[in-house]
Amino acid sequence: MIFEGKTILVTGGTGSMGKTFVRRVLTGELGTPKKIIVFSRDEAKQHDMRMSYLHKLVATDEVIYRNFMNALEFRIGDVRDYSSVCSALKNVDIVVNAAAMKQVPTCEYFPTEAVLTNCIGATNIVRAIEENNYPVDTVISISTDKACKPVNVMGMTKSIQERIITSANILNPNTRFICVRYGNVLASRGSVIPLFHEQIKNGGPVTVTIPEMTRFLLSLNQAVDTVFIALREAKRGETYVPIAPAATILNIAKALIGKRRIEIKVTGIRPGEKMHEIMVSEEEANHCVKRGEYYAIRPMLPELCDTEQEPNALTKEFSSADTVLDLEGTIALLRKHRLMIEDVDLSQGGELLR
């Protein structure tokens, strides 16, 4: 029970993954935590999240003014700011670094901002632990398939973040630093499925960049499962990667449109996009092992290499073009995760029906 009695800090905790992670942890499926700290810079999102959990239990004033007495604590701060990171890390056992600038176009236009959040933010966490001797047990950083052989700023900064986290194990032997890397999260904020839902709601057209473009597909719960399994099993410096299915953008659009008479418009590839995403590169395949339904990329630095020999799981890169679902398979996957139009209240801007 990895969370039993633990204090957990979730940076970027009001994002799609952060909210799902917090909800899952609060169920107690992996033990009852002592405290969960949601750390982010958006007070409006924090307030909405706080109220969604607590407003049915106590009065509004009590929710707000007893914040630090609650097991679910909300803390305003920014991973870019070293002092607020230091303050948030006191007495924490587990850090989940989900704070990120993750929108590709935004990072392309504002690369310095992406560096500050994705790279300096991770550095501040490592530095705070090292300089203050905080007894943090584990830091897990949330990365992306775009960090693998990156072609855009978002991927480049996430790739550097992975190296910051991995190398932190050398000078901080009392803390385990690990990563997870996964592809597009279905229905997460800013992803393609909410966009398609909105376009269908408005009668189209549904805009597809390149019909043959493929993307790995993972639900929010599967993303959290990846974090859970890495927290349980990953060794120092390892990056866990789910063995996820992929689909073409065209089939995702067709699956959501169904029999509706809605036009599909091809708009062309956008700056910073790949035709196919990669989750494990050809170079990483040389030190990639299989652990159940996941690949574990072992660290390259000799100080972190485990003497235990495990056979390599891959002989080539792991690409979204390797095993692509057909249309029927895409429909089945979306239906499984309740992302088809019939599972969505289009009158409420594409909110999932729960």
User: Which residues does the annotation mark as catalytic?
Assistant: 146
Q: Is the peptide bond before 205 cis (omega within 30 degrees of 0)?
A: yes
List the beta bridge partners of residue 8: 36, 94
**Distance of alpha carbon 299 from the chain centroid:** 20
Q: How many residues does the chain have?
A: 354
Assigned token pair, 239: 């990056």
- Pairing relation of β-strands 294-297 and 318-319? unpaired
180 backbone φψ class: left, alpha, beta (φ>0; ψ -120 to 50):
beta
Please give the full DSSP string across 162-211, using - where no structure is assigned. HHHHHHHHHH-TTSEEEEEEE-EETT-TT-HHHHHHHHHHTT-PEEES-T
Assigned token pair, 74: 């909300």
d(CA 353, CA 152): 34
Assigned token pair, 166: 């991995």
Q: What are phi and psi of 319, to 5 degrees?
A: -115, 155
Please say whether the beta carbons of 14 and 42 come within 8 A: yes
Q: What are phi and psi of 302, to 5 degrees?
A: -60, -30
CA distances in angstroms from 16 to 110, 158, 229, 230, listed in the order given: 22, 18, 19, 19
